[in-house]
Homo-oligomer: A and B are copies of this chain.
Amino acid sequence: MAKGKKRISIHDLAAELGFSVSTISRALNNAIDVSDATKAQVWALAEKLNYQPNNLAASLRSGRSNMLGVIVPHINGAFFPAVVHGIEKLASKAGFNVMICQSSEEVDREKKHINALLKAQVDGVLVSMSNTTLDFAHFEQVRRKGIPLVFFDRMPELPNVCGVVLDDYLGAYQVTKHLIEQGCRRIAHLAGPQHLNITFNRHQGYHDALLAHGLPYDAALVVPLANSRENGGVAAMRHLLESNIQLDAVFSAYDFAAAGALQVMMESGIQVPKTMALAGFSNEPFTTMVRPRLTSVDQRGELMGEAAVQLFLQLLKRTDTFTGQRIVLKPMLMVRDSSLHGQLAQTAKNQQ
């Protein structure tokens, strides 16, 4: 009977039962070639002695850590938490543990996390880039080691990278088209950073929808956001109003910035959506709490997380991890009061 504080290992179990360590190992792993009687004995003793397997040793030996590294820019708002949830759901089903890291939108932290994950011998890395990531050498490092690398949402425009993205272009196109159909003709866009695929595509969708409907693209109507938060939207909207440009709608690349814009509109006595329509992007929960409720685009966060894991699992089977596969998810336009420029607001009641 093992006494003292020493943590017990399969050797202790082996000694106690008179089996070899390999039999113990096999029994604990429920291998096919161990008799049920033996398994029962081993499991009983393991339970009794409170045996705790050591993954470090198993991983070191087997070369598989069953750990999945995930790097997200942040976990504020609803989107990235939803993605993470989707990732964890599918990953744990596939027997993987997930290590979540936040880059806090800093490329240096992103690099550090990549390094830490590699040192920890993760079996794969899922990344959504920080918005300060301009070179991609640290990602190459992962690929060079033959470790599956999957991007989600924010991915670099490089050949042969795998990833799952939302069709941001389509989402923005649909929002803009919707605003046009509501009778809006002077639609402003609060734009995110153009070096990121997501916000670049949102801008493109806006641009193309205008042209497709015979409206001019006016650069004066496009205001870059200093940040994606409320105060970014406040500043951009103030700038827009101060410029005295004609305006009957605003499409913000982010919901939080849209909330800031809404605040400025309210303070300026502008009626939303009657005088000015408004739409955001992300379908944050607060969009149904503010008045008027905010029209937005759902980003399918959970689905994206699941798709990313699926892609990873696929890559794991292959020898070449540079297949350049992409999964593109369809966005969902959520029409709410804030964009019903040309209709009675009641119409949206059922769609909230």
Contact = CB atoms under 8 A, between A and B. Distances in A.
A311 to B, nearest CB: 22
Interface in A72-88: 74-76, 78, 81, 84-85, 88
Interface residues of A, number: 51
Given A50-B144, A88-B102, A102-B88, A57 B60 contact: yes
Nearest to A65: B56
Contact of A286 (B59, B84, B102, B286): B286
A112 B57 CA distance: 20
A55 interface: yes
Contacts of A263: 289
Contacts of A141: 50
Interface in A316-334: none
A194 to B, nearest CB: 26
A76 B79 CA distance: 10
A180 B146 CA distance: 65
A262 B256 CA distance: 20
Interface in A107-133: 112, 116, 118-121
A35 interface: no
A84 B88 contact: no
Contacts of A119: 52-55
A168 to B, nearest CB: 23
How many of these chains are in the complex? 2
Interface in A60-74: 60, 65, 67, 74
Contacts of A101: 88, 98
Nearest to A115: B52
A56 B118 CA distance: 11
A255 B317 CA distance: 46
B7 A289 contact: no
Contacts of A57: 60
A291 interface: yes
- Interface-centre pick from A50, A76, A144 (highest chain B CB count, 10 A): A76
A97 interface: yes
A99 B56 CA distance: 15
A85 B56 contact: no
A5 interface: yes
B102 A99 contact: no
Interface string A192-229: 00000000000000000000000000000000000000
A145 B100 contact: no
Nearest to A284: B286
Contact of A85 (B50, B92, B102): B102
22 contacts: A5-B146, A50-B144, A52-B118, A53-B119, A55-B119, A55-B121, A56-B60, A56-B121, A75-B75, A75-B81, A75-B84, A76-B81, A81-B81, A88-B101, A92-B112, A97-B99, A97-B120, A286-B289, A289-B289, A289-B290, A290-B290, A290-B291
A46 interface: no
A59 B266 CA distance: 58
A230 interface: yes
Contacts of A84: 75, 102
Contacts of A60: 54, 56-57, 60
B78 A76 contact: yes
A249 interface: no
